[in-house]
Amino acid sequence: MGVLVVGTVTLDTVETPSKRVEDVLGGSGVYAAVAASFFGNTTVQLVGVVGADFPHAYTNFLQTRGIDLQGLERVEDGKSFRWGGRYAEDFNVRDTLFTELNVIENFQPVLPEAYKNASYLFLANNSPVLQLSIIEQATNPKLIVCDTMDFWINEEREALEALLARVDVLILNDSEARLLTGDANLVRAAETILRYGPTRVIVKKGEHGAISITESSYFNAPAYPLTQVTDPTGAGDSFAGGMMGYLASVGDISEAAIRSAMVYGAVVASFNIEDFSVERQKRVAFSEISSRYCELQEAARF
Amino acid sequence: MGVLVVGTVTLDTVETPSKRVEDVLGGSGVYAAVAASFFGNTTVQLVGVVGADFPHAYTNFLQTRGIDLQGLERVEDGKSFRWGGRYAEDFNVRDTLFTELNVIENFQPVLPEAYKNASYLFLANNSPVLQLSIIEQATNPKLIVCDTMDFWINEEREALEALLARVDVLILNDSEARLLTGDANLVRAAETILRYGPTRVIVKKGEHGAISITESSYFNAPAYPLTQVTDPTGAGDSFAGGMMGYLASVGDISEAAIRSAMVYGAVVASFNIEDFSVERQKRVAFSEISSRYCELQEAARF
């Protein structure tokens, strides 16, 4: 089965207390697609846009991961989306240094014919209007998962609510869940979000793992206990992408499958964090993913 | 088997956005002892001190829970320890309004003969010097667990390190683990604390559950997903007390037993939070504890 990822494809500049990297491969679409590509017999299709300055080495890398780039538009007279961020000592605070939208500003994604019947849709954080337009182009989705962020919650509330009525799963982080509902209690906040339409809400809590809530279930997914954090950029999208990749590979969206998928997502995210950009993912064998999955099973057993 | 709890027995004034209560039964020793008393065939012995103003209704209640009060000293010319605190809207911030040490200031606990051979010692947050003096009076401890707080970490570092060399398990919250080690990464912080002596470090993370680390194991205990928070005071001590009560009732300190014990502790803490003082605990049947334990098993399964 196939995963369709719609997200950003960017050139990132990241500063941490130990190092600075410039114009490295990044973006929500990239992190999610690379994460999904770890799971056998899953085709991953990526929708996004880059400028003429986007290095061929980066698109080549994505292709070596088996990621279908038919939906990656290249604007020959445009510049790629650039983002810069700086992490403080303990990685809990991130300052955005700059955001240059460039080609993304007027991007109106049109799904290639071959993408329209994708089963698993992951709509990474984006304008809810754009996210909705993708849903309207998809002919046969089995599972629609979307992410969002504070900007859309504050600025595009109405469109976001229209989107939520159309998705199966909303993934967001704890502060976003609180912002969206005005409720500091995360469990109650997630329950409130269910009323907007999704049948499942997944709240990401960083080092504290993630929780999943439906009308009839509650799941507490552990995070992998990392002792070495190099760059958390993209961890949330890796989580979501890994989850989607696993679900597509097993062709199952049962509660049990989604729980396993969330833990696989947490594992892929843990590798993401161990190096800048997608450097660590380049060196990860699936056996290492399986091994951390087993460690988390052991860590959650009682 | 018996649990020996050494902690404070206080008259608390607590303000929340919805209500204010005055001079209610509280203190680390009370919360821990009440939590431990839920577990069958466990005798709970309490060491602490109160003044002449301490209501007999409170000591009577503790006795109806089967808690042995031989070690609860009553200073006839003294006043009880009083503490006042106020919670903000989301319960994540607590301001201490006042702390009147009174009888606790010069308390030098002497274990009654019948307490000296207790197997399970829980030394609630207190001066490390006092905590050490209890260890020195105990003749046959099977498991020594202690808690601490920022004040002792900052002011009594040397005594605290001497204490840590003598305990089996240190329980502390996430900010305390960071303060004690200067390390923002909780997993690494817990690993560092192991080097001070404890064979196990348990880090409490409130709504995010707790983690337990030894040299060879990592456990991620879920928190019970509460939607109704009334008063979090004493939740940490309830967690520790519930854990100790379960361990004593099964007479087992294996990794498996400690994992179950932590989850039982989380469950007892969840009831604690649903009302002021120990009001909710008064109405909890053991079947309700078992039921939430099973819910958490289901919530952690994948």
A92 touches chain B (CB under 8 A): yes
ipTM of the complex: 0.94
pLDDT greater than 80 at residue A153: yes
Give the alpha-carbon dihedral of B107, B109, B112, B115, to 10 degrees. Answer: 130
User: Which bin fits A277, alpha (ψ -120 to 50), beta or left (φ > 0)?
Assistant: left
The pLDDT-based confidence of A1 (bands split at 50, 70, 90) is confident
The pLDDT-based confidence of A49 (bands split at 50, 70, 90) is very high
CA angle, residues B222, B225, B226, in degrees to nearest 5 = 135
pLDDT greater than 80 at residue B1: no
Q: pLDDT of A69-110, one tens digit each? A: 999 999 999 999 999 999 988 787 889 999 999 999 999 999
Domain segments of chain A: what residues? 2-300
Question: How close B163 comes to chain A (CA, Å)?
Answer: 26
Sequential DSSP letters for A177-242: HHHHHT-S-HHHHHHHHHTTS-SEEEEE-GGG-EEEE-SS-EEEEPPP--S--S--TTHHHHHHHH
Mean pLDDT of B178-200: 97
Mean pLDDT of B4-10: 97
As given in the structure block, the two tokens for residue A144 are 């629609």
Q: For position A39, what pLDDT does the model report?
A: 96
Q: For position B290, what pLDDT does the model report?
A: 98
Q: For position A42, what pLDDT does the model report?
A: 82
Mean pLDDT of A129-135: 97
The answer to whether A89 contacts B209, with C-beta atoms less than 8 Å apart, is no
Q: Which of residues 263-292 of B touch A (CB under 8 A)?
A: 263
Fold classified for B2-300: UDP-N-acetylmuramoyl-L-alanine:D-glutamate ligase (3.40.1190)
Mean pLDDT of A8-29: 96
Q: pLDDT of B36-45, one tens digit each? A: 999 987 899 9
Report the C-alpha gap between B124 and B132 in whole angstroms: 12
The answer to whether B302 contacts A187, with C-beta atoms less than 8 Å apart, is no
Q: pLDDT of B46-85, one tens digit each? A: 999 999 999 999 999 999 999 999 999 999 999 999 999 9
Q: What is the mean pLDDT of chain A?
A: 96
Q: pLDDT of A250-261, one tens digit each? A: 999 999 999 999
Number of A–B residue contacts, CB under 8 Å: 82
Question: How close B248 comes to chain A (CA, Å)?
Answer: 18
Report the C-alpha gap between A295 and A226 in whole angstroms: 12
As given in the structure block, the two tokens for residue A32 are 């999610």
Going from the C-alpha of B213 to that of each of A7, B123, B160, B238, B259, the distances in angstroms are 38, 19, 19, 20, 11
Q: For position B38, what pLDDT does the model report?
A: 97
The answer to whether A184 contacts B89, with C-beta atoms less than 8 Å apart, is yes
B208 touches chain A (CB under 8 A): yes
Question: How close A184 comes to chain B (CA, Å)?
Answer: 6
Q: CB count, 10 Å around CB of A268?
A: 33
The answer to whether B209 contacts A208, with C-beta atoms less than 8 Å apart, is yes
Q: pLDDT of A162-194, one tens digit each? A: 999 999 999 999 999 999 999 999 999 999 999
What percent of chain B is predicted at pLDDT more than 70? 100
What percent of chain B is predicted at pLDDT more than 90? 95
As given in the structure block, the two tokens for residue A77 are 């007279």
Mean pLDDT of B274-283: 97
Nearest by CB to A208, from B90, B208, B227: name it. B208
Q: For position B175, what pLDDT does the model report?
A: 95
- Which residues in chain B have their CB less than 8 angstroms from residue A203's CB? none
The pLDDT-based confidence of B235 (bands split at 50, 70, 90) is very high
Report the C-alpha gap between A140 and A137 in whole angstroms: 9
Lowest-confidence range among A92-96, B1-5, B269-273?
A92-96
What percent of chain A is predicted at pLDDT more than 90? 95
Q: For position B22, what pLDDT does the model report?
A: 97
Q: For position A91, what pLDDT does the model report?
A: 84
Nearest by CB to A187, from B89, B219, B226: name it. B226
Nearest by CB to A220, from B92, B218, B300: name it. B300
The pLDDT-based confidence of A40 (bands split at 50, 70, 90) is confident
Q: For position B42, what pLDDT does the model report?
A: 82
The answer to whether A302 contacts B300, with C-beta atoms less than 8 Å apart, is yes
- Which residues in chain A have their CB less than 8 angstroms from residue B266's CB? none
Which of B87, B193, B201, B220 has the highest number of chain A CBs within 10 A, making it the mutation to test binding with A?
B220
The pLDDT-based confidence of A41 (bands split at 50, 70, 90) is confident
Q: pLDDT of B82-134, one tens digit each? A: 999 999 887 878 899 999 999 999 999 999 999 999 999 999 999 999 999 99
Q: For position B90, what pLDDT does the model report?
A: 79
